[in-house]
Structure 1
Amino acid sequence: MYLQVFFGVMFFLILSALLLKSWKLRPLILLLAGIFNMIYILYIFTNEVSSPLPGYLMFDSLGKIIYLAYSLLFLSLTVYAFDYLKLRPDRGNKIFIISMIINIITAQTACMSQDLGILWASTEAATLSIAPLIYFNRTKYSIEATWKFILLTSTGIAIALLGIYMIGYTALQVNGHGTLNILELKRLTPFMNSEWLLFSTIFLIIGFSSKMGLAPFHWWKPDAYGEAPGLIGALLSGGLVSLAALCLLRVYQILSPSGIIVYYNNILLTLGIISLFFSAVFITRQSDLKRMLAYSSVEHVGIIAFGLGIGKTAVFAAILHIFFNTIAKGALFLSAGDIQRIFNSKKAEDISGIISVSPIIAVIFIAGILAGGGSPPFSLFVSEFLILLNTVQTGNLFLAALFVIFLIVIFMGIISMTIKVLYGKKNTHTGSLDDFRPTPFMISSEIFLILLVLIFTFYMPINIPDTVKNATLLLGVKI
């Protein structure tokens, strides 16, 4: 029943957005979608619910924890958008609002998916729903970024589809009828042809890694993050990344009983190191604020892949990192978007001295930088420390050293630009609140996310860590 209610309410809100003529009232529909979705996931998270389609759509512990983080981010984005869209009367908001609601519907479907085919389709639908949002500013650079985003991520997901076909065909050789059900595939993988299973695994990794933005499949990120509005950058870096990570976790779940899991871990570990390396190299050379944040996203997907590759307790920490990163990236991109709108630029030489123009945005931005950089006392520090600790405990001292070195270099690069943005000499021709002044509603959404990523360091409701633990056990990892 809950599933029918969710889809019914969301489709009603989409229809309302289509029919409502007032552009000033239309953002209220998006806010209602965010509030309803938050109530919905809190009900799902705190109650045992059955599914009318258990072999296809069902919330397990892994889907619950990813969707909870996604919903917290989505709620804050709808609060921010309520006033943001009113400040942009030059841009129509009907397509924007409908695309956002479609995105949360498809994200929910992906998190419930117990079938690789449905997971693939819903993740691709979530991706396509973001494409019109990247083009919101309607510049020649945003259209280029949109096409690059569609082309590269869709190419990657097409490669993942080949991997799904291959693993389905391999299952056919075992049980005679084939299947894409995740639990059934997990049961069959120990009996599958190892060569076919390995090839399908490689295709799945390439496909979902390009969606996640792991290096060297990350080339769409700097353009898409750089040209999209700040709140869409948050949806990309926090939302889409978490869905792509979920896809990799589902593959991990399927392969866990088979010997191929060793190869899977090693490939993810390698991609994680490569991503950290690329981030360290490029982030120190950036003069564009949003492109710097794009390479920060490459860093964090690298940390997630690194943790999954190490295995054991690091898998628990990697899932925690997905949860925390989804929330932290929201605050960081929203405040960066505010800075861009205030200065009408995202170049370092143009956006210096924000602390003298808008102290509140400056404070939120530095808090977002520290949270996103994994600094104590923010919760990303906990997940990064757990990954590092498990790396040392498993005897991978060289990898632990590389991990620390890359994180230090990346953090220094980020702080270097942050100091310029905060305290640099103010450009007399830019930096005014006359054309764009963040409203209390917008600022409150950013503070909400910062407080969450801070509070979760010291306190989490008991069912959150238990759900993460159960998700880890679901992957076949004993902790």
Structure 2
Amino acid sequence: MAFVLIFLPLFMAAVAAVVPSDRLRPWLLPVTGTLHLGLTFLVLARPGQVATTTWLVLDPLGKIVLLVVSLLFFFCSIHAVGYLKNSHTRSNRVFCVCFSAFLGVMTLVTWSHHLGIMWVAIEATTLVSAPLVYFEHTPRSIEATWKYLVICSVGIALALLGSFFLAYASLHAGINPTLVFEELLQQAPHLSKPWLHAAFVLMLVGYGTKMGLAPMHTWLPEAHSEAPAPVSAMFSGALLVCAFLAILRVYHLCLAAGDAAFVTPILIFMGLFSMAVAGVFMVGQKDFKRMLAYSSIEHMGILALGIGIGGVALFGTLLHVVAHGVTKGLLFLSAGNIYHAYGSKNTDEVSGALRRLPLSGTLFLAGFIAIIGSPPFGPFISEFSILNAGFATGHYVASGLFLLLLLVIFIGMGATVLKVVQNREPASGAAPQPVFREGLLTVAPPIVLLGLVLLLGLHIPAPLSNLLHNAVDFLEVQP
């Protein structure tokens, strides 16, 4: 089943490459998303019937990330059909090929239980998604693409060096070196501590670059804001948590080695620092897609803070992976509709969205209310769980700063969002105003995503709750 889930999107990418019609080709994306999501549900529902190999194992952590990746791609693929219809002046062949392949390599990340294979898969996500950032063919998009390639390549090189250090931690301790995750877990208590610590720092910096943790985040605001809306949604909700999964692997090894005291202060600092950087750049932000990009940096910081606190915060952290992914999909897809209607991302030229685009404007406003952690939406439950765990475990300073930074971010985001959805529409001629009408393909996905965000806040479905508890148990910490 692993090979089917991984190679299905790659096969569909090959099909998209040979389909001659720009009108028919985008429909391959929702077909791919539907098949992949159906197979994902089958794998999650019948784990005992899934054959695995030593290097490809879908463990409880991988299941959560696979669910988020597949679910978000399904909705983004539907929206992409509408998006590409409104971008009819440009061939969509490269977009369809790369977008399908993007799903395949992210799926490989979730199944990888060999740190070398995982590294290759994460590097592949950069290579197949870079053309998607450049799809609009603007000067800013080419700049964003090069920043994405260069910065993430440097980060992934550091992660590779960290993987070598991890193997040498075994060799230095007189153990046969390996990069197979299960074998590393068994060896963890005997690994050389200095080499393990060095490996953790390098892999945190390396994969943290791809995850968007500050100060390695500099590619993210550019790429997220310049990429097409479905791509931005996948970047924020799926790609970043694939990198987080890689960090979880080395974090898990450090816990098994009894080095929690070494890794937790680093993760707490990185989490709070990322939130602080995001808050600073959100205040006065006029580009609403760039604002959402900084929001992604904030929430990656929340994930780092959650695993840094550890213990009962792990359940809330893993729930936040799901809640943030769904909510950010809602925000980026609705923001993409607003951008198409106004031809601009600047709040000086975009206002009155509730009047011009009643559905998309309402969805964008609802997504903002959800992402800032307001009840009754999913992010409120996950963030409150992390905050409550922080106070319960004696992390009073970190928890207090967490609250303060959430307030700063609320003020910064709120000012930008209200400018977009309220006020009067800009005067005629103030900005290019392409003909854009809200259609079923562009509004249905964010509407359903809003329903899912609300569901996560009102009631966590039992199957998802079981997945989350199993993942916490897998990390050997009880919720």
Same-fold call, TM cutoff 0.5: yes
Which residue number corresponds to residue 463 of structure 2?
A: 463
- Equivalent residues of 1:342, 1:432 under 8 A apart: no
Q: How far did 1:148 drift?
A: 0.1
Distance 1:432 1:151 in 2: 33
Q: How far did 1:478 drift?
A: 2.1
Distance 2:311 2:228 in 1: 38
Distance 2:422 2:431 in 1: 13
Q: How far did 1:52 drift?
A: 4.8
- Higher mean displacement: 420-429 or 447-456: 420-429
Q: Which amino acid aligns with 1:350?
A: E
Which residue number corresponds to residue 86 of structure 1?
A: 85
Query: What are the within-5 Å matches in structure 2 for residues 360-375 of structure 1?
Result: 360-375=359-374
Which residue number corresponds to residue 318 of structure 1?
A: 317
- Equivalent residues of 1:183, 1:254 under 8 A apart: no
1:98-151: per-residue Cα shift (whole Å, max 9, x none)? 111111111111101111111111111122211110001001110000000111
- Higher mean displacement: 188-197 or 154-163: 188-197
1:414-450: per-residue Cα shift (whole Å, max 9, x none)? 1111111111232122578752223112100111111
Which residue number corresponds to residue 152 of structure 1?
A: 151
Distance 2:228 2:430 in 1: 19
Distance 1:11 1:432 in 2: 38
1:454 aligned to 2:464? Answer: no
Q: Which amino acid aligns with 2:65?
A: I
Q: How far did 1:81 drift?
A: 0.9
Distance 1:358 1:8 in 2: 39
- Equivalent residues of 1:186, 1:257 under 8 A apart: yes
Which residue number corresponds to residue 202 of structure 2?
A: 203
- Higher mean displacement: 361-370 or 7-16: 7-16
Query: What are the within-5 Å matches in structure 2 for residues 26-425 of structure 1?
Result: 26-49=25-48, 52-174=51-173, 176-425=175-424
Q: How far did 1:20 drift?
A: 1.1
1:206-247: per-residue Cα shift (whole Å, max 9, x none)? 001111001111111111112111111111111111101111
3-state DSSP of counterpart to 1:85: helix
Mark the CA change 1:54 to 1:193 in structure 2 (over 3 Å): closer, same or farther. Answer: same
Q: How far did 1:13 drift?
A: 1.9
- Equivalent residues of 1:275, 1:298 under 8 A apart: yes
- Equivalent residues of 2:16, 2:93 under 8 A apart: yes
Q: How far did 1:93 drift?
A: 0.9
Mark the CA change 1:51 to 1:174 in structure 2 (over 3 Å): closer, same or farther. Answer: farther
- Equivalent residues of 1:213, 1:301 under 8 A apart: yes
- Equivalent residues of 1:242, 1:322 under 8 A apart: yes
Distance 1:239 1:149 in 2: 16
TM-score, normalising length from structure 1?
A: 0.97
Q: How far did 1:298 drift?
A: 1.0
RMSD (Å), alpha carbons: 1.5
Mark the CA change 1:156 to 1:426 in structure 2 (over 3 Å): closer, same or farther. Answer: same
Mark the CA change 1:417 to 1:342 in structure 2 (over 3 Å): closer, same or farther. Answer: same
3-state DSSP of counterpart to 2:375: coil
1:255-292: per-residue Cα shift (whole Å, max 9, x none)? 11223232111111100010111112111121111111
1:372-431: per-residue Cα shift (whole Å, max 9, x none)? 111111100000000000111112222211110100110111111111111123212257
3-state DSSP of counterpart to 1:56: coil
Q: Which amino acid aligns with 1:242?
A: V
Mark the CA change 1:10 to 1:418 in structure 2 (over 3 Å): closer, same or farther. Answer: closer
Distance 1:100 1:212 in 2: 19
Q: How many residues align?
A: 478
Q: Which amino acid aligns with 1:172?
A: L
Distance 1:7 1:110 in 2: 10
Q: For structure 2, list consecutive stretches of 5 or more residues without a partner in the other structure.
A: none
Mark the CA change 1:8 to 1:273 in structure 2 (over 3 Å): closer, same or farther. Answer: closer
Which residue number corresponds to residue 477 of structure 1?
A: 477
Distance 2:229 2:39 in 1: 26
- Equivalent residues of 2:134, 2:141 under 8 A apart: yes
- Equivalent residues of 1:318, 1:387 under 8 A apart: yes
Distance 1:259 1:79 in 2: 46
Distance 1:452 1:143 in 2: 35
Q: How far did 1:50 drift?
A: 5.0
- Equivalent residues of 1:252, 1:475 under 8 A apart: no
- Equivalent residues of 2:169, 2:193 under 8 A apart: no
Mark the CA change 1:355 to 1:11 in structure 2 (over 3 Å): closer, same or farther. Answer: closer
Q: How far did 1:175 drift?
A: 5.3
- Equivalent residues of 1:284, 1:413 under 8 A apart: yes
Q: How far did 1:174 drift?
A: 3.6
3-state DSSP of counterpart to 2:362: helix
- Equivalent residues of 2:327, 2:450 under 8 A apart: yes
Distance 1:8 1:107 in 2: 11
Q: Which amino acid aligns with 2:440?
A: P
